[in-house]
Amino acid sequence: MSLPSLRLKANAERRLRAGHLWVYSNEVDVLATPLTAFQAGDQAILEAAGGKALGIVALSPNNLICARLISRDLKHPLDKSLLVHRINVALSLRERLFDAPCYRLVYGDSDLLPGLVVDRFGDHLVVQLASAAMERHKDAVVEALVQVLRPAGILFKNDSSARDAEGLERYVETAFGVMPEWVALEENGVKFEAPVQGGQKTGWFYDHRLNRARLAPYVKGRRVLDLFSYVGGWGVQAAAFGATEVMCVDGSALALDGVERNAALNGVAEKMTCVEGDVFEALKELKAAEERFDVVIADPPAFIKRKKDLKNGEAAYRRLNEAAMRLLTKDGILVSASCSMHLPEDDLQNILLSSARHLDRHIQLLERGGQGPDHPVHPAIAETRYIKSLTCRILPS
């Protein structure tokens, strides 16, 4: 394959040599190699200012991150062969980690496949393509996955906002075989079905697997409140781990149908109560009714999606966690989670401390959790680390 060149400014290659994979538009020597000469999804040979080749990149010429390193070996552009190799490498890690074939199989940059996410549900795969390059190679993605895994069905769940920045249309379609509305999975010994066609993201959130496993000693024999419950990833596991009663609150009827479905799968339906509506309003009503819980789980959607949302997002996390603390018994446990990449763990910890002090409560931080190893962190790319989970004990002062 004969590829054009993309030339960097002087010293702009240092970050890439140190392990990073992204090229920013202000690092490109646009006089030598104008970005306007490329289409989104094109591949090019990335060159240092002196002309030395650094590898092959996939381009998004209209974005601040205008290129992502695909391969440091010029013999291996993005094609089916590279996809098969990288998917096999990713699979070898997941098979070492998990007994059941239920996990995030491919996690973008961290698996050296920027713009590609694949979640595995046994014989079914859900794929998200977030870059123009992966969209252009979507047939090769399907062919590679079929070659490596022989799945019964592959779903393209390409309806995320990440595609907007790449100028890509949103769509959901079956790419191979047969894809049901709900697919089965197992997590921490608990059975679930996930709504892959109509649910959030890929239909399930594998990233909190280990944090949910940590619930077991805290919930046994206790009353639990699960906020932003989705289909019961936290709440149904709490019931399966021995909670006496679990209340799940979510604004989605589909999600709460999933809670009931998954509770029945595990024989814990009699323990579950579902409340449909705005979580903040539900918290007010529970406080007014003087309800109390031994454990409250607060795992909201990202309140901070962009840096400019930081102030309002931090205020939302403070409101949520303070309201959750108000519902705890005197020796209660709060599991506070965040999937906002722009909220550092220390900032979440400070929000919890200030919330506790505002209520004149003493807080003990018991456990810290992050994303599971099927969401490996790329050490050079801070954005690949986004999950925080803090388990706290809330006591009278």
Q: pLDDT tens for residues 133-158? A: 999 999 999 999 999 999 999 999 99
pLDDT at 19 over 90: yes
Q: Do 68 and 115 contact (CB within 8 A), yes or no? A: yes
Task: Give the integer Cα–Cα distance in Å for 364 and 396.
Answer: 11
Which residues are catalytic, by number?
A: 339
Q: pLDDT tens for residues 256-284? A: 999 999 999 999 999 999 999 999 999 99
Task: Give the integer Cα–Cα distance in Å for 101 and 268.
Answer: 24
What domains are defined for the chain?
5-71 (2.30.130.10), 80-179 (3.30.750.80), 183-396 (3.40.50.150)
Q: pLDDT tens for residues 222-262? A: 999 999 999 999 999 999 999 999 999 999 999 999 999 99
Torsion angle of C-alpha atoms 40, 42, 45, 50, degrees rounded to 10: -30
Q: pLDDT tens for residues 354-366? A: 999 999 999 999 9
Q: pLDDT tens for residues 60-82? A: 999 999 999 999 999 999 999 99
Amino acid at 168: L
Nearest to 110 by CA among 345, 374, 388, 387: 374
- Of the pLDDT bands very low, low, confident and very high (cuts 50, 70, 90), residue 31 is very high
What is the total residue count of the chain? 397
pLDDT at 348 over 80: yes
DSSP-derived 3-state class of residue 265? helix
Nearest to 68 by CA among 56, 54, 51: 56
Whole-number Cα distances in Å, 50 to 6, 7, 12: 12, 9, 11
Contacts 24+ apart (CB under 8 A), 209-217: 209/372, 209/374, 210/369, 210/372, 211/335, 211/337, 211/369, 211/387, 211/389, 212/187, 212/188, 212/237, 213/188, 213/237, 214/367, 214/369, 214/389, 214/391, 215/241, 215/295, 215/297, 215/335, 216/241, 216/242
